[in-house]
């Protein structure tokens, strides 16, 4: 069993109804498996925030997923294995004034 720590910043926390959360899983999982879990657990609205609306297979340019203090965006990101104690933050970068 592994425990992952999450920080959900707006607008994700509006969907999760929580800013900080620890979720336990039976085994290690990949980022792709985690995102599918979130889709099932938090619904389509959470999942839609992750992806670019025009380029369906690309993450939104507003999204930053940080794992253990490092922001990832490389082509192998979805295959990254998450391990016990990993700390993940879901941030949406807003612009404007």
Those residues with Cβ within 8 angstroms of residue 88's Cβ, 6 or more apart along the chain or in another chain = 4, 5, 6, 7, 65, 66, 67, 82
Q: What percent of the chain has pLDDT over 70?
A: 96
3-state secondary structure 5-62: EEEECCCHHHHHCCCEEEEEECCCEEHHHHHHHHHHHHCHHHHHHHECCCCCCCECCC
pLDDT at 97: 54
* pLDDT-based confidence at residue 6 (cuts at 50, 70, 90): very high
97 belongs to a structural domain: no
**Structural domain count of the chain:** 1
pLDDT at 54: 75
Which CATH number fits the domain that encloses residue 23?
3.10.20.30
Provide mean pLDDT across the span 46-63.
Answer: 81
Domain span at 27: 2-92
Q: Alpha-carbon distance 41 to 97, whole Å?
A: 34
pTM metric for this prediction: 0.87
22 belongs to a structural domain: yes
81 belongs to a structural domain: yes
pLDDT at 41: 94
Query: Taking the C-alpha atoms of 39, 44, 48 and 54 in order, what is their torsion angle to the nearest 10 degrees?
Result: 120
């Amino acid at each position: 069993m592994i425990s992952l720590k999450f920080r959900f910043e707006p607008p994700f926390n509006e969907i999760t109804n929580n800013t900080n959360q620890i979720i336990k899983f039976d085994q290690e999982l990949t980022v792709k498996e985690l995102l599918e879990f979130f889709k099932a657990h938090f619904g389509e609205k959470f999942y839609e925030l992750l992806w670019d609306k025009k380029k369906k297979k690309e993450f939104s340019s507003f999204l930053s997923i940080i794992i253990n203090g490092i922001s990832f965006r490389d082509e192998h990101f979805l295959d990254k294995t998450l391990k016990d104690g990993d700390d993940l933050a879901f941030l949406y970068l807003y612009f404007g004034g």
